[in-house]
Amino acid sequence: MLHVAPDLSGVIPLNAFEAQAASVRDLAAGVMDVFGVAAAALAIVVLLLMLGSLFSWLRQDLAITFADLTDNITDAVIIGK
């Protein structure tokens, strides 16, 4: 009886398959790193804009508050308008 070896021309050796899987994993990890850095940078920009808005509102609110206090103190000190 004659034994014929199977055709292995389309089969990827295990070591080559593992190397290809590792390179795909590394590529996916790199892409996720890029997205992670971009999302973190966007979050930092949004938070800085919110912080600037808070300081702007605080400055305007304090100006209005102290203007009212100044008027009250001036009214209390000046007798006879």
Report whether pLDDT(32) > 90: yes
Check residues 57 and 66 and name the one with the higher pLDDT.
57
* pTM, 2 dp: 0.58
- The CA-atom distances, in angstroms, between 71 and each of 8, 22, 29, 44, 63 are 94, 73, 63, 41, 12
Sign of the dihedral through C-alpha 29, 35, 41, 46: negative
What is the reported pLDDT for 73? 76
Question: Residue 69 half-sphere exposure, CB side, CA atoms within 13 Å?
Answer: 6
Angle at 69 between CA 68 and CA 73, to 5 degrees: 120
